[in-house]
Amino acid sequence: MITITNDSKTKRELLFKELYRSSFPSVARWVKRMGGDREQAQDIFQDSLIVFYEKTVQGLLENCDNPPAYVLGIAKKLWLKKYHKIKNDIPLTDWEKNISIPPDFYHQNKKQRRLLRFVEAAGKKCLEILQSFYYHQIPLSEIARQFGFSNTRSATVQKYKCLEKIRNEVKSKNLSYDDIME
C-alpha cells in the first residue's frame, strides 16, 4: 500500500528518489526500444513521476502493490500521448491501456503558457498557498503552520483571499474561456 503524507518537500524528495532507483532503468530501457534517446527518457520519466504523485495525493493508488510497474505504465501512456507512436511489436497491455492520464497534461496553448508566467509572477506566496491546498492537498492546519498563520481559520481566510486575488488578475487579462481551456 502506498501512503504519502501530503507533507513537505523533503518527504516528496525521498519518494521521488526511491522511484528513480526502482523505476527509471526500466522506463529508460523501454524508451530506447521505442527509438527514444536519453533526454527523452529523462523527460518522460519525470512527467510519469508527476502523474504518479498526483494520483497518490488523490488517494487513487492505495491498492497499488507494484509502483515501478505502474510508473512504467504511465510512461508508456505519456509517450503515446506526446509522440503518438508505439511500435506495433510492443503493444500496451490491457492494464496499461486503462491507466488514465490527466487530460490537461501536454495540452497547453500559447495563451495558457503566457498566462501561467503572469500568474507565477503575480503573487508568489498566494500561489504557494493555493498549490499547497489544491495541488499537494496539504491540510489547512499544516498550511497554517508552514506559512506562519496564527490558526487554521486565518489560513482559510488567506486561502480564499488569494483565490479571489488571482482569479481577478486572471480575468483582468481578459482572455476568453475557449482560448484558455482548449
Partner 1 sequence: MTLWNESRRIDRFLSGWMSKRQAEVFKKQLHKHPELADKVRWQKRTLQLVRLSARRQLKKELRQIEAQLLGPEGDTPLKNQITQIW
Q: Which residues bind partner 1 (CB under 8 A)?
A: 9, 12-13, 16-17, 20-21, 24-25, 28-29, 32, 37-38, 42, 46-47, 49-50, 53, 104-105, 108, 112, 115-116, 119-120, 127, 130-131, 134-136, 157, 160-161, 163-164, 166-168, 170-171, 177, 180-181
Q: Are 31 and 44 in contact (CB under 8 A)?
A: yes
Question: Nearer to partner 1 by C-beta: 97 or 113?
Answer: 113
Question: Nearer to partner 1 by C-beta: 49 or 155?
Answer: 49
Question: Nearer to partner 1 by C-beta: 45 or 73?
Answer: 45
In the complex, the smallest distance separating the C-beta of residue 146 from partner 1, rounded to whole angstroms, is 15
- Write b or e for each residue in 163-173: b if 16 or more Cβ atoms lie within 10 A of its Cβ, otherwise e: eeebeeeeeee
N-terminal to C-terminal alpha carbon distance within the chain: 36
133, exposed or middle or buried, with CB in 10 Å at 0-12, 13-18, 19+?
buried
Number of CB atoms found within 10 A of residue 68's CB: 16
Question: Nearer to partner 1 by C-beta: 90 or 157?
Answer: 157
In the complex, the smallest distance separating the C-beta of residue 143 from partner 1, rounded to whole angstroms, is 14
